[in-house]
């Protein structure tokens, strides 16, 4: 009988195990979730009833602890604030609306996990939670530490700050005496504006001081730039050749065009700087104004002037053999040397020439250094170098007219005060004659083919093609270039 009863019990146990294994998992999960949710609901209900009971008592309230002191006391005591669910259940079940339940809650918090946690090294300095009176004193002391600009905060703002995270309270308490950090964002200064008035006292134009932004760049020498260009303006008058002095040579206009066209070809072939070509032609014109040269020696004068300018402007100047070979035997090395000596002696070794490229770069500053307008202006400025009609016109005026027309080609705005000031003070009325001369050259038949071919390359953005097409279109439609795009 005993063995049969044991077999029956084992069979029942095996059957119950199989039933539990075959039970669907969602059903078990639903049972578990229901139990946990009921426990959480019971805990929340008990805690809410405890708070309501404490709030109804006369003169009693839930103490609001200072977070900073609260954290220091917890760290010094080495106790954890984590509580298990049964502790909360015990406290909530024993709550009866009296202060004894709050004492049980604090006791359970301080006595929890005493055996499982090791005391911290600074546990000897442990102290209990502050009372309501101590907390009020801490609040008053913390209010005294606040700066004057923050002392006008309302009580609700102070309470929200005190009840915030401990990091905010500690930063507010210990950094109260520090100054506000200086911002690293540097605000850009607005350029100073100046007004220029005429003799009658009326305002002519207004310009901005664009050199002030280069005060920290030693290569721009912003403190000397005005003196430098004042000196160049004086120098361009001294070194300016006179057209009347050149007419003492027979047929000088056609011969000069041929010689200049050849010099542009040699200059482009050697890859020299634009300043070298400007200095070479200015040296040649000044020499021809003082000396009468025979027609067969005119190529020697041009070759010697280009050789002098290359040694003056270039870092690595071509040798004299290269210059002699380009003349196809018309000039030997000895003749180039003798011509160099004679030219320098005639000019008194004075090569102080205010290059027009310097004035063009100065105006380009007021044009925001636009690469397109400056490339077109280079082509238009070089017209004043190769065309005989521009002999005797100031380089600064030619540079201003070139920039004026290049801006018209690109459809830019009017000639404002900044462009007027940084061009040397040239107004639209003063630029009009030179601009019309440049337009006449563009619509005329091509005389300097090497010059046009040079600026037809992609290196110069095909400036000659664009300029000629634009000039023909303007003249065909009868547009006024001085008021175009305004």
As given in the structure block, the two tokens for residue 355 are 């290059």
Q: Verify that 258 and 339 share a domain, yes or no.
A: yes
* Domain final residue, candidates 181, 207, 229: 181
Q: Verify that 393 and 468 share a domain, yes or no.
A: yes
Residue whose structure tokens are 């002519």:
204
Q: Verify that 377 and 420 share a domain, yes or no.
A: yes
Q: Report the CATH number that the domain containing residue 441 is assigned in CATH.
A: 1.10.472.10
Q: Using CA atoms, how far apart are residues 69 and 126, in angstroms rounded to an integer?
A: 12
Q: Verify that 299 and 329 share a domain, yes or no.
A: yes
Name the phi and psi angles at 249, rounded to 5: -90, 135
Query: What confidence tier does 196 reach under pLDDT thresholds 50, 70, 90?
Result: confident
Is residue 227 situated within a structural domain? no
* pLDDT for position 348: 94
Q: Using CA atoms, how far apart are residues 102 and 97, in angstroms rounded to an integer?
A: 9
Work out the average pLDDT over 161-178: 45
What does the DSSP 8-state code read for residue 316? S
Q: Verify that 360 and 339 share a domain, yes or no.
A: no
* pLDDT for position 136: 60
pLDDT in tens, 92-110: 444 444 444 444 444 444 4
**Beta carbons of 379 and 467 less than 8 angstroms apart:** yes
* Domain final residue, candidates 145, 165, 181: 181
94: Cα within 13 Å, side-chain hemisphere: 14
Where would I find the H helices in 216-332? 225-238, 243-246, 252-270, 274-290, 298-313, 320-326
* pLDDT for position 414: 87
* pLDDT for position 39: 61
Question: What mean pLDDT is reported for the chain?
Answer: 75
Is residue 397 situated within a structural domain? yes
pLDDT in tens, 265-308: 999 999 999 999 999 999 999 999 999 999 999 999 999 999 99
Q: Verify that 364 and 311 share a domain, yes or no.
A: no
Q: Is the pLDDT of residue 477 over 90?
A: yes
Q: Verify that 68 and 176 share a domain, yes or no.
A: yes
Q: Is the pLDDT of residue 193 over 80?
A: no
Is residue 312 situated within a structural domain? yes
Is residue 16 situated within a structural domain? no
Q: Verify that 341 and 371 share a domain, yes or no.
A: no
CB neighbour burial string for 50-69, b if at least 16 within 10 angstroms, e if fewer = beebbeeeeeeeeeebbbbb
* pLDDT for position 161: 46
* Domain final residue, candidates 288, 321, 353: 353
Is residue 101 situated within a structural domain? no
* pLDDT for position 258: 94
Is residue 283 situated within a structural domain? yes
Q: Using CA atoms, how far apart are residues 425 and 400, in angstroms rounded to an integer?
A: 10
Q: Using CA atoms, how far apart are residues 233 and 363, in angstroms rounded to an integer?
A: 14
Is residue 98 situated within a structural domain? no
* pLDDT for position 42: 66
DSSP-assigned states of every residue in 131-163: -HHHHHHHHHHHHHHS-GGGTT--HHHHHHHHT
Q: Verify that 367 and 461 share a domain, yes or no.
A: yes
Q: Using CA atoms, how far apart are residues 79 and 6, in angstroms rounded to an integer?
A: 53
Query: What confidence tier does 89 reach under pLDDT thresholds 50, 70, 90?
Result: very low
Work out the average pLDDT over 125-146: 54
* pLDDT for position 120: 44
Q: Verify that 284 and 407 share a domain, yes or no.
A: no
Work out the average pLDDT over 229-257: 93
Q: Verify that 333 and 423 share a domain, yes or no.
A: no
Q: Is the pLDDT of residue 400 over 70?
A: yes
pLDDT in tens, 50-76: 666 665 554 444 444 454 554 455 555
Indicate the number of domains in the chain. 3
Is residue 485 situated within a structural domain? yes
Q: Which residue has the higher pLDDT, 433 or 202?
A: 433
Query: What confidence tier does 45 reach under pLDDT thresholds 50, 70, 90?
Result: confident
Non-local (6+) Cβ contacts of 269 within 8 A are: 326
Range of the domain at 298: 240-353
Q: Verify that 381 and 477 share a domain, yes or no.
A: yes
Q: Which residues pair with 205 in a beta bridge?
A: 196
């Amino acid at each position: 009988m005993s063995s049969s009863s044991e077999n029956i019990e084992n069979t029942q146990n095996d059957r119950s195990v199989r039933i539990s294994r075959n039970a669907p998992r969602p059903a078990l999960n639903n049972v578990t979730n229901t139990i946990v949710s009921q426990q959480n609901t019971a805990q929340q209900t008990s805690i809410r009833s405890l708070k309501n009971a404490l709030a109804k008592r006369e003169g009693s309230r839930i103490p609001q602890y200072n977070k900073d002191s609260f954290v220091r006391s917890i760290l010094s005591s080495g106790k954890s604030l984590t509580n298990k669910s049964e502790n909360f259940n015990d406290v909530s079940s024993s709550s009866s609306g009296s202060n004894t339940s709050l004492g049980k809650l604090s006791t359970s918090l301080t006595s929890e996990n005493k055996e499982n946690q090791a005391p911290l090294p600074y546990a000897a300095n442990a102290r209990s939670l502050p009372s309501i009176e101590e907390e009020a004193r801490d609040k008053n002391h913390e209010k005294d530490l606040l700066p004057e600009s923050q002392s006008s905060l309302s009580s609700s703002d102070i309470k929200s700050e005190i009840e915030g995270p401990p990091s905010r309270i500690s930063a507010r308490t210990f950094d109260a005496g520090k100054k506000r950090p200086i911002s690293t964002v540097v605000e850009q200064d607005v350029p100073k504006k100046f007004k220029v008035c005429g003799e009658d006292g009326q305002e002519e134009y207004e310009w901005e001081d664009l050199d002030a932004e280069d005060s920290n760049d030693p290569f721009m020498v912003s403190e000397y730039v005005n003196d430098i260009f004042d000196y160049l303006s004086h120098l361009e008058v001294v070194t300016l050749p006179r057209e009347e002095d050149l007419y003492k040579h027979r047929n000088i206009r056609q011969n000069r065009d041929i010689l200049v066209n050849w010099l542009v070809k040699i200059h482009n072939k050697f890859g020299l700087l634009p300043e070298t070509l400007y200095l070479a032609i200015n040296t040649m014109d000044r020499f021809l104004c003082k000396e009468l040269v025979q027609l067969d020696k005119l190529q020697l004068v041009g070759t010697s002037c280009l050789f002098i300018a290359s040694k003056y402007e270039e870092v690595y100047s071509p040798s004299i053999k290269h210059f002699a070979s380009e003349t196809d035997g018309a000039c030997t090395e000895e003749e180039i040397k003798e011509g160099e000596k004679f030219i320098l002696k005639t000019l008194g070794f004075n090569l102080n020439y205010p290059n027009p490229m310097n004035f063009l770069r100065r105006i380009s500053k007021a044009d925001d250094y636009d690469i397109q307008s400056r490339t077109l202006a280079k082509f238009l400025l070089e017209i004043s170098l190769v065309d005989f009609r521009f002999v005797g016109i100031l380089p600064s005026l030619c540079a201003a007219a070139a920039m004026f027309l290049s801006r018209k080609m690109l459809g830019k705005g009017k000639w404002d005060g900044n462009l007027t000031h940084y061009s040397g003070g040239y107004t639209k009325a003063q630029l009009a004659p030179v601009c019309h001369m440049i337009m006449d050259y563009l619509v005329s038949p091509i005389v300097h083919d090497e010059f046009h071919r040079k600026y037809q390359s992609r290196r110069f953005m095909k400036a000659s093609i664009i300029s000629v097409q634009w000039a023909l279109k303007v003249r065909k439609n009868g547009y006024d270039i001085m008021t175009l795009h305004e």
